[in-house]
Amino acid sequence: MIRRLGAALSAVLLTIGLPACSPPNLGRVVPQAAAPEGLRTPSATPPPTSTTTPRPGPQSEEKHSGKGNASVPMAWPMRIGFVTFDCPKCSGHVAVNTENELIVNDIGPYKGTQWINDMPDHRAKTFTVKANAAWTLTITDERGLPVLQPGKPLSGKRDAVFAVPDAVSSVAVTTKGNGNTAVWVRSGDYAELPVNQLGDYKGSVPVSGPAFVSLEGDGTWTITAS
């Protein structure tokens, strides 16, 4: 869909032999000023794990609901949060953004999960929602995520985020019906983009738990940890 056009453009350029200009993933737009350390961009060599910030304790769920366009103040603190936006009767353009990034940019009915507050010192304070039907928006900590257990596949559609426990070393991903497939892996304070391509995808992605895996796509997916 629209929100993955930047990633799709990069894949097209590589296919026809032109150098990719590494456009940002339009699903997560960030400020163009000096990029802070820890920005959600691919990194060939992750920093030593000794620099990882300790994971904070439990955080209560935060939930909002409305109908149509809205500006929604949030109380979520400066820590990573996982936002599920659900608008089952939406038609036309559907969008959700914070001050720092665009986390939903799609067409028609939508339900998916993305993360926020993944950049140091960039706390999201307000959601701006564009919709033409009733919606709900829920923020949780990692306890609200599906957990990838070795050998137990999970299936679904649209955007999703998974918690990866210690026992996992890789995940197998299969997508169908996607305009573009993107897989983000976040370990500690840093995230990488090992998969970003047009069309369906089938392959294995190295993941060292504990971590989070974000799967972005318009179609269906199956993911299995090992």
Cα–Cα–Cα angle for 74, 80, 85, nearest 5°? 55
Neighbouring-strand partners of residue 6: none
Q: Quick one: pLDDT at residue 29?
A: 40
Q: Which of 24-38, 55-69, 183-197 has the lowest mean pLDDT?
A: 24-38
Give the separation between CA 83 and CA 63, rounded to whole angstroms. Answer: 9
Residue 36 has pLDDT above 60, yes or no: no
- Strand ranges in the chain using DSSP code E only, listed in sequence order: 62-67, 70-73, 81-87, 93-97, 102-107, 110-116, 126-130, 134-140, 154-157, 160-164, 170-176, 180-187, 190-198, 201-206, 211-216, 220-225
What's the pLDDT score for residue 213?
97
Is the C-alpha dihedral spanning 195, 96, 137, 55 positive or negative?
positive
Contacting residues for 194 by C-beta, under 8 A, at least 6 apart: 42, 183, 185, 205, 206
Q: What is the pTM of this model?
A: 0.75
pLDDT tens across 46-92, in order? Answer: 544 444 556 678 899 999 999 999 999 999 999 999 999 999 999 99
User: Which tens digits make up the pLDDT trace of 116-172?
Assistant: 998 888 899 999 999 999 999 999 999 999 999 999 999 999 999 999 999 899 999
- Predicted confidence (pLDDT) per residue in 193-212, tens digit: 999 999 899 999 999 889 99
Residue carrying structure tokens 């999970």: 154
